[in-house]
A and B are shown apart, each in its own frame.
Chain A
Amino acid sequence: MLFQGILMDCFQKINQERTSSSVYNLLIGKKAIQTIQDARFYHIADYYGIYPGLAKDDYRIQLNQLIELDYLREDNEKKIQITKKGKSWLASCKTNLDGFAGAKYANVMETFKQRLLLFIQTITNTSKKQYLFIPISDNHEAEQFVKGFYKQYKQRSKEVLQQLYKELEKALSGLTDLEASMFVDRITSYYSYGSSLQQLSQDYQLSIQDCFLILQKGFYRLLRVQEHDNDYPMLKHFTKNLYISDTPLSQTAQHTLRLLQKKHSFKEIVQIRRLKANTIQDHLVEIAMHEMEFPFFDYLNSTIYEEIKEVVHSKQTYRLKEIKNNVNPDISYFQIRLALVLYNK
């Protein structure tokens, strides 16, 4: 139900302005500028990257089911619209959909998860004098981190476990019992391997996707509490050296940003980087979304901005094509995109 709810929530908010694959790209956390922009404009950034391993086929199957149930409708352009039936179903389950913070922790989530789980496996084994076990994760980074952390705390494993219990208990108390219980079942510890998704799905009689998303919710909860509350020193430690930001700047956009900061002009940047003007424009839009002080009015003037804003209001749309059709033909797509970023800041 959770997975379905999230899909319907997304399509409701996007309101028929994007194709079905836009939501797929959002869920897997595609680093394309379009996806990041969608996340912002349609206020669905919390779902950004919450399901990195989602298979396209599974996504499509779920979507087709919702269409068959008449919760969603797909038009000829592959754009999806929520039906009345869908809306009322969604309204009845609203609260369940909270608790994600995908965009915010996009850079942090996977590593945090692996570090925490591998550490629990390590410390519960070693505190029982069991030094040989098959690690649940062979991620090199997580392994190195846990090694360092473990060295620091191995003398005090009992204390560490108690503190970990205290923090996990407190954090998970903010979830429902079912969510917390599932989270605990997934943990691997001394002589007890955590449940696979298929097993959780059987034990809790929920779909595999819902199980995965509920577990994710648990991890987002841990990330949130350690950031906002001082009672979680242990959990905080697992985010060490991880950079928390709203959706990250791509490497290539960072490069462009550095040139921009050196006061190179748009033309110069195109030449230096030997990229197409379009590509650099993409970077600029990306940068505009992330940087507090972007010089919007190097590329727009207030007349243009007002004109675009007007159309957004009157037509109630973020669709670039529709806006373009309703403004002065001299205004470019690039300018419209920048204006939309500014409008949403």
Chain B
Amino acid sequence: MRIIHLEEALYRHFNYDFFRQGQKEIISDVLCGKDALGVLPTGSGKSICYQLPAKLLDGITIVVSPLISLMIDQVKELKATGFKDVIALNSFLPFMEQQRALNNLDSYRLIYVSPEWLQKRKHQNYLKQLPIKLFVVDEAHCISQWGHEFRPDYQRLHEVIEALNHPPVLALSATATPDVQTDIIHSLNKPDMKRHIYPMDRNNIAFCVEEVENDQEKLDRIIEMTKSYFVPVLIYFTSRQIAEETALSLSVKLPKRNIAYYHGGMEASERLRIQQQFMNNQIDIICCTSAFGMGINKSDIRLVVHYHLPLQIESYIQEVGRAGRDGESSVGVILYHKGDFRLSANMVKNELPSMEVIDRLITTILTCQSTQVDLPSPEQLHILLDINEGAARFIQRQLQKYGLIQDNEWFIDEKKWKQVRESIVQYLEKRQLYKNDKLNELYRWVQTGDCLRKTLYQPFQDGFGEPTDQCCSNCGFDWNKWVPESLFKIPEASSPINWRKKLQKVLNMEEV
């Protein structure tokens, strides 16, 4: 009975005909009030594992999500599918809106929160008064120092879970090695958590590594590929500027194709236009940074090209995993040249602050304190330094750990600093080593002569499924044998004089 019931509910609430691998097992556990850890490959519909229970449970589901933009996208999408009683709470919400939401929390079924937001005692007090029936930790690998996106605030989630009187916990991730899985269960302090681990290999994606001489050759290769394939394409970059420039030069070379760029520096409404045009097949090629793709459910992306590589294997798996979610044959291509490694190594270096920067910060703070000059609050410490967000967060977290920041106030003096400095030095070195190892691991994979599929998934699981089409460039990849269905026709050129015709079409009057 229960099984039929669940499938019906899935159709009624989300209009899907059947569950994908793992979803039903996890949902059944969650509905029985058991704690569960779900490791499902990217694009397998992880979010259904809590969105359906949120609809069925008689109470509220809390979802901790590490990325605010992802959270906002998901809420938008849910609302568009008719799931209205959902909200995203984070520190970027305007004060008035936040107050309105806090006073009406019980009118929601599904509440997304950022880990930072959740740390505030005041916010926890609001949540404590709610009938919370499920506590979801999305992207749970952020808990682990050995996960590629370690978020220290995630390590304090067990405190929140306790404060909320232990609602059932569901932890989800797409990229958790066995070590990370153990870490997650340990950190959440839920030893009886049921593990639902599914293989993450994608047997409909072929992997191709192509070494080139320089950036110009990368562009030439992209033009060649996109000329012959009229399919949705994502091209990944680590630099916003190069993503933009490449989009523009591609447009010049391929005037009949619809090409756009997308990155986190664009205005939200412009980003939404690009996203939705891609969904509607109004755009076929997008040059983007890692900001694109999260929470985007386009199932027919056929080609994912990496003009730049990310900084670790997990991110690569996630990004290439946006290809072929419908199960049709798709290809992931990596274009790289010898100079790329240095570029990546530099990015890794800038993700953490240097010890000199930290020392300089402390000196500034001590000087300000002794001369009674006003200091910005710890949350604003980036004003004092010219460093990126990740590095600033690292410093904040370290100072918090040793009590030099408490409740967003500075508690620093020279003596305290002397006591903790050495520990911070050591920890910083450890993190640097770890990040460098991850980068080396990725580049070793790219340069391997072995089967790319086998080596890519090795750290995560034993074995992998037989590829449905070709395997990889090391096993022999032939572009001539890859013939995906063309999704685009060459659009007819329209001249401004025909704007009336366009307006008729836009207003659904073409048949008149």
Question: Which of A's residues lie within 8 Å of B, judged by CB?
Answer: 53, 120, 124, 127-128, 131-138, 161-162, 164-165, 168-169, 172, 177-178, 180-185, 187-199, 202, 204
B interface majority secondary structure: helix
With A180-B496, A198-B261 already in contact, the answer to whether A120 and B507 are too (CB < 8 A) is yes
Q: Which of B74-82, B216-224, B225-233, B478-486 contacts A (4 or more CB under 8 A)?
A: B74-82
B95 interface residue (CB < 8 Å to A):
no
Q: Contact: A124 with B507, CB < 8 Å? A: yes
Residues of A within 8 Å of B267, CB to CB, are 53
Residues of A within 8 Å of B277, CB to CB, are 193
A184–B76 CA distance with the chains assembled, in angstroms: 25
Q: Contact: B499 with A194, CB < 8 Å? A: no
Residues of B within 8 Å of A165, CB to CB, are 503-504, 507, 509
Residues of B within 8 Å of A172, CB to CB, are 499, 503
B260 interface residue (CB < 8 Å to A):
yes
Chain B window 486-504, contacts with chain A (Cβ cutoff 8 Å), 1 for yes, 0 for no: 0000000000111110111
A188–B261 CA distance with the chains assembled, in angstroms: 19
Residue of A133, A137, A164, A177 near B497 (CB, 8 A) is A177
Q: Contact: B248 with A181, CB < 8 Å? A: no
With A124-B507, A124-B508, A165-B507 already in contact, the answer to whether A136 and B269 are too (CB < 8 A) is yes
Q: Contact: B81 with A193, CB < 8 Å? A: no
Provide 13 A-B residue pairs closer than 8 Å at the C-beta atoms, listed in order of the A residue: A120-B507, A124-B507, A131-B82, A136-B273, A161-B508, A169-B500, A178-B496, A181-B496, A181-B499, A189-B506, A192-B506, A193-B282, A202-B251
A165–B260 CA distance with the chains assembled, in angstroms: 29
Closest 6 A/B residue pairs (Cβ): A181-B496, A181-B499, A193-B276, A177-B496, A193-B277, A196-B273
B280 interface residue (CB < 8 Å to A):
yes
A182–B506 CA distance with the chains assembled, in angstroms: 13
Chain B contact patch, size range: 20 to 34
Q: How far is the CB of A122 from chain B (nearest CB, A)?
A: 12
A194–B506 CA distance with the chains assembled, in angstroms: 10
* Number of cross-chain contacts by CB at 8 Å: 90
Known contacts A136-B269, A190-B508, A193-B280; can you find 12 more A-B pairs with CB under 8 A?
A120-B507, A127-B508, A132-B81, A134-B76, A137-B269, A165-B503, A169-B500, A177-B497, A181-B499, A184-B502, A194-B273, A196-B273
Residues of A within 8 Å of B462, CB to CB, are none
Q: Contact: B276 with A202, CB < 8 Å? A: no
Q: Contact: B276 with A134, CB < 8 Å? A: yes
Question: Which of B's residues lie within 8 Å of A, judged by CB?
Answer: 76-77, 80-82, 248, 251, 260-261, 267, 269-270, 272-274, 276-277, 280, 282, 496-500, 502-509, 512
Residues of B within 8 Å of A184, CB to CB, are 499, 502-503, 506
Residues of B within 8 Å of A187, CB to CB, are 503, 506
Q: Contact: A132 with B82, CB < 8 Å? A: yes
Residues of A within 8 Å of B504, CB to CB, are 165
Residues of A within 8 Å of B270, CB to CB, are 196-198
With A193-B282, A202-B251 already in contact, the answer to whether A134 and B499 are too (CB < 8 A) is no
With A178-B496, A184-B499 already in contact, the answer to whether A196 and B509 are too (CB < 8 A) is no
A27–B509 CA distance with the chains assembled, in angstroms: 37
Residue of B248, B274, B497, B508 near A128 (CB, 8 A) is B508
A85–B306 CA distance with the chains assembled, in angstroms: 48
Q: Contact: A196 with B274, CB < 8 Å? A: yes
Q: Contact: B507 with A181, CB < 8 Å? A: no
A188–B274 CA distance with the chains assembled, in angstroms: 12
Q: How far is the CB of A168 from chain B (nearest CB, A)?
A: 6
A124–B510 CA distance with the chains assembled, in angstroms: 12
Residues of A within 8 Å of B274, CB to CB, are 196
Residues of A within 8 Å of B82, CB to CB, are 131-132
Q: Contact: A189 with B276, CB < 8 Å? A: no
In the complex formed, the residue of B with least CB distance to A53 is B267
Q: Contact: A189 with B507, CB < 8 Å? A: yes
A194–B507 CA distance with the chains assembled, in angstroms: 13
